[in-house]
Copies of this chain bind each other. A is one copy, B any other.
């Protein structure tokens, strides 16, 4: 209920998913019952594999992530996470307040044994394909062992979900040499180097889009700034092109064509196509979506959650950490 276009896009996306996989998916829509039922009726989608569960409260985008856990126990977000906790569903997706969803999921579901800190990974396009940036904002101050854990979780995720054999892991730093970096990354380098992960060493800011590694590790402070910067880069281009378009009719035509090409080129930064990003390390499957998620994005988030469940990502993470403890 907390997404920018809720519950409309959420319901439409769920209908598409339910229709596409009638035999394998059962979807609970959690939120204001009458609104949701109206939408289902309007779309002639009173399907057997869609159930509606009433939750009167809504976590807004402005709510403090830590408060809603107690202040809004009957929010759609909390009720939905509870379904996972009570083993009534296998996973939960949300396009609402990311901070609140992350915090509430961690507090309610706990962490996978062996994980010190969960992480939000963001997928981004590279010259060679797709890479995962961990962390992009779950925790700003990280210790070296957290970066190692991000490497483990990212590796499991990219090999199982994106079918990359032995994903290459790079540690984001300011130079290639192992002596380059800040205190945390220099120590994290040593942990990664001595691990069984496919660690290729430090990667620099300029290596990300070149696809030098399949996974890029950094703390949530750096990751969040980078991700928002990348999104705004696309924004700046569009803003400058619009400015040029205002200079005349022919230019307007011209800029329209360029914008279309640009969308092809940088469209990969539109993470809706990946169907949300995983909150890794939480003891339950949680998919984080953009507030502006389209019905298509919602559908893809549902499929992504299903995939994480069927491929037992969390179990694989737990087993890896158990078999490869840090000394």
- Look across to chain B and name the residue whose beta carbon is closest to the beta carbon of A179: B64
Q: Which of B126, B174, B221, B227 contacts A182 (CB 8 A)?
A: B221
Interfacial residues, chain A to chain B (CB-CB below 8 A)? 126-127, 137, 140-141, 172-174, 181-183, 185, 204-210, 218-222, 224-233, 235-237, 239-241, 244, 254, 258, 261-262, 264-266
- When distances are taken between beta carbons in the complex, the residues of chain B under 8 Å from A209 are 229, 232-233, 235-236
Known: A206-B232, A228-B205, A229-B206. A127 touches B174 (CB 8 A): no
Q: Which of B126, B225, B231, B244 contacts A226 (CB 8 A)?
A: B225
- When distances are taken between beta carbons in the complex, the residues of chain B under 8 Å from A207 are 232
What's the Cα separation between A141 and B258 when bound, in Å? 41
- Look across to chain B and name the residue whose beta carbon is closest to the beta carbon of A233: B233
Q: Which of B140, B208, B231 contacts A174 (CB 8 A)?
A: B140
15 more A-B residue pairs beyond the given contacts A229-B230, A236-B265, A244-B261, with a C-beta to C-beta distance below 8 A: A140-B174, A141-B183, A174-B220, A182-B219, A182-B221, A205-B230, A206-B231, A210-B232, A210-B235, A218-B225, A221-B222, A222-B222, A225-B226, A233-B233, A258-B261
- When distances are taken between beta carbons in the complex, the residues of chain B under 8 Å from A185 are 221
Q: Which of A137, A222, A226 has the most CB of B within 10 A?
A: A222
What's the Cα separation between A228 and B180 when bound, in Å? 15
- Give min CB distance, A42 to chain B, whole Å: 36
What's the Cα separation between A240 and B266 when bound, in Å? 9
What's the Cα separation between A203 and B225 when bound, in Å? 10
The reply to whether B258 and A225 contact each other, CB–CB distance below 8 Å, is no
Known: A236-B127, A237-B265. A141 touches B182 (CB 8 A): yes
What's the Cα separation between A296 and B228 when bound, in Å? 34
The reply to whether B221 and A181 contact each other, CB–CB distance below 8 Å, is yes
What's the Cα separation between A230 and B241 when bound, in Å? 18
- Give min CB distance, A322 to chain B, whole Å: 30
What's the Cα separation between A59 and B236 when bound, in Å? 38
- Look across to chain B and name the residue whose beta carbon is closest to the beta carbon of A209: B236
- Look across to chain B and name the residue whose beta carbon is closest to the beta carbon of A218: B225
The reply to whether B229 and A208 contact each other, CB–CB distance below 8 Å, is yes
The reply to whether B222 and A225 contact each other, CB–CB distance below 8 Å, is yes
What's the Cα separation between A207 and B233 when bound, in Å? 10
The reply to whether B241 and A225 contact each other, CB–CB distance below 8 Å, is no
- Give min CB distance, A1 to chain B, whole Å: 23
